[in-house]
C-alpha cells in the first residue's frame, strides 16, 4: 500500500465511522494531512471540548488523549500508539507535589498540561505553553508554585515580574538537548536567519532567541513574517511542516537532536489500524480522577478568556 492509498483509506473510514482525528504539531506530515485538527496543546484541548464525533483519535502522547477523555467523557477516545507517553508528565507524582504544597501553603499550584490526570486533581489550574502567561496573569494569587517544567516556569516568571514563582527541577528531555553551543553554531551558519524557540528550552537558549512561543506560535510567526529564513528551536517535525507551508522560505533545525521519540512512535499505519478498529488504546479514567482533573482544566479554559 502506498502512503497516498493508506491516507485515502483513513479519510474514507473516519468519515464512515464518524471519527475525528486530532494530531499534535509534532506528528509527521503524512499524519497531519489526514487529521481534522492539528495544533499545539491548547488548541487540541479546545477541540477536545468541542468535537462532535462519536470517537476521537488522538495522535500525540498519553496526557493529550487523557485531556480529551476528561473533557468529553461520553466519547470513545483512542490513543493512536499506547506506548506514546511524555517523559516530563511522569516526572512528578501526587506524593511529591503534596509535600511541595505543604512546604508552600500560601502558593497556588499551577501545573503544565504535560502532567498525569492524577496529578492535575491536586493542582489549582493547568496551563499550556501558549496560554501560561495570560492564565497566570489573570490569577488572583501572586504566589505561584509552578510544576513540572522549570524552564517554562522561568520564562513565564520573567514575563510576569510582579508575581513570585517557586520552580521545581523538571523539564522536557527533548528540548533540554538544545545547548547555547547549538545557537552559536546555527547563528554562524545562518547569520540572517531569525531564531525561534520553544519555552521548554533552557533559559540560556531562550535568552538568545528572537521569538519564544508554543509550536503553533512558532509556526504562525514564521508564516506571517517578512523574513525569509529561520532557525527552529523545537521538535524537528516543525521544520518540515514549515518547509511545506512556506516553500519559498528557508528553515533550519537548531539541533538535529531535538527529536521527541515518543511523538515519533505514532506512524501512519497506527492511524490506519485505529480507524479500522484494530489498534491503539481506548482511554478510560476513574470518574473521581476525571472530575478532579477536569476542575483543573476547566479553570485553564476559564482564565484564558
Ligand atoms: P505546545 O504544543 O503546547 O507548544 O507543547 C509542546 C510540547 O512539548 C507538547 O508536548
Ligand atoms: Fe514530552 Fe517534550 Fe516530547 Fe513534548 S516534546 S511530548 S514535552 S518529551
DSSP string for residues in 174-213: TGGG--HHHHHHHHHH-TTSEEEE-TTS-HHHHTT-SEE-
Q: Are 49 and 69 in contact (CB under 8 A)?
A: no
Mean confidence (pLDDT) of the chain:
96
Handedness of CA 277, 20, 115, 117 (dihedral sign): negative
Nearest-atom index, ligand 1, CA of 24: 2
Longest dimension (CA), the chain: 59
Q: Assess contact for 71 and 48: CB atoms under 8 A.
A: yes
CA of 16 from ligand 1 middle (Å) equals 31
Give the β-pairing of 76-79 and 281-282: antiparallel
* Ligand 1 pocket, mutate which of 43, 89, 114, 217 (most atoms under 8 A from CB): 114
Residue 106 Cα to ligand 2 middle (Å): 30
Q: Tell me: pLDDT of 49 over 90.
A: no
Helix (H) or strand (E) holding 43: helix 41-50
pTM (predicted TM-score): 0.95
Cβ 9 vs Cβ 272: under 8 Å: yes
For atom 4 of ligand 1, the residue with the nearest CA is 214
pLDDT in tens, 211-248: 999 999 999 999 999 999 999 999 999 999 999 999 99
Number of helices (H), then strands (E), in the chain: 14, 13
Distance 140 CA to ligand 2 centre (A): 29
pLDDT in tens, 10-48: 999 999 999 999 999 999 999 999 999 998 888 887 887
With a 6 Å cutoff on the Cβ, whether 174 touches ligand 2 is yes
In the chain, pLDDT over 70 holds for what percent of residues? Answer: 100
**Confidence bin at 261 (pLDDT 50/70/90):** very high
H or E element at residue 300 = helix 287-303
CA of 15 to the centre of ligand 1 (A): 28
Does residue 258 sit in helix, strand or coil?
coil
CB 40 within 8 A of CB 128: yes
Average the pLDDT over 80-94 and give the result: 96
Amino acid at each position: 500500500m502506498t502512503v497516498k492509498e493508506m491516507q485515502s483509506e483513513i479519510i474514507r473510514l473516519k468519515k464512515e465511522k464518524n471519527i475525528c482525528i486530532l494530531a499534535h504539531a509534532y506528528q509527521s506530515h503524512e499524519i497531519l494531512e489526514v487529521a481534522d485538527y492539528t495544533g499545539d496543546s491548547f488548541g487540541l484541548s479546545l477541540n477536545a471540548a468541542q468535537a462532535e464525533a462519536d470517537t476521537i483519535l488522538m495522535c500525540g502522547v498519553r496526557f493529550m488523549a487523557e485531556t480529551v477523555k476528561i473533557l468529553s467523557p461520553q466519547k470513545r477516545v483512542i490513543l493512536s500508539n499506547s506506548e506514546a507517553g511524555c517523559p516530563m508528565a511522569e516526572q512528578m507524582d501526587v506524593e511529591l507535589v503534596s509535600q511541595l504544597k505543604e512546604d508552600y501553603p500560601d502558593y497556588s499550584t499551577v501545573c503544565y498540561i504535560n502532567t498525569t490526570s492524577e496529578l492535575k486533581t491536586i493542582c489549582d489550574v493547568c496551563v499550556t505553553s501558549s496560554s501560561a502567561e495570560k492564565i497566570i496573569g489573570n490569577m488572583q494569587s501572586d504566589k505561584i508554585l509552578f510544576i513540572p517544567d522549570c524552564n517554562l516556569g522561568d520564562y513565564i516568571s520573567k514575563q510576569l515580574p510582579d508575581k513570585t514563582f517557586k520552580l521545581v527541577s523538571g523539564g522536557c528531555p527533548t528540548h533540554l538537548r538544545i545547548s547555547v553551543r547549538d545557537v552559536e553554531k546555527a547563528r554562524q551558519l545562518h547569520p540572517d536567519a531569525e531564531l525561534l524557540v520553544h519555552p521548554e528550552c533552557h533559559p540560556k537558549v531562550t535568552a538568545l532567541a528572537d521569538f519564544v512561543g508554543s509550536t503553533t506560535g512558532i509556526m504562525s510567526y514564521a508564516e506571517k513574517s517578512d523574513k525569509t529564513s529561520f532557525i527552529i528551536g523545537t521538535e524537528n517535525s516543525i521544520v518540515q511542516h514549515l518547509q511545506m507551508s512556506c516553500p519559498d522560505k528557508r528553515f533550519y533545525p537548531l539541533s538535529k537532536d531535538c527529536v521527541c521519540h515518543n511523538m515519533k512512535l505514532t506512524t501512519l499505519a497506527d492511524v490506519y489500524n485505529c480507524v479500522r478498529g484494530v489498534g491503539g488504546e481506548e482511554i478510560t479514567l476513574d470518574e473521581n480522577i476525571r472530575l478532579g482533573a477536569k476542575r483543573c482544566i476547566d479553570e485553564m479554559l476559564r482564565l484564558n478568556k
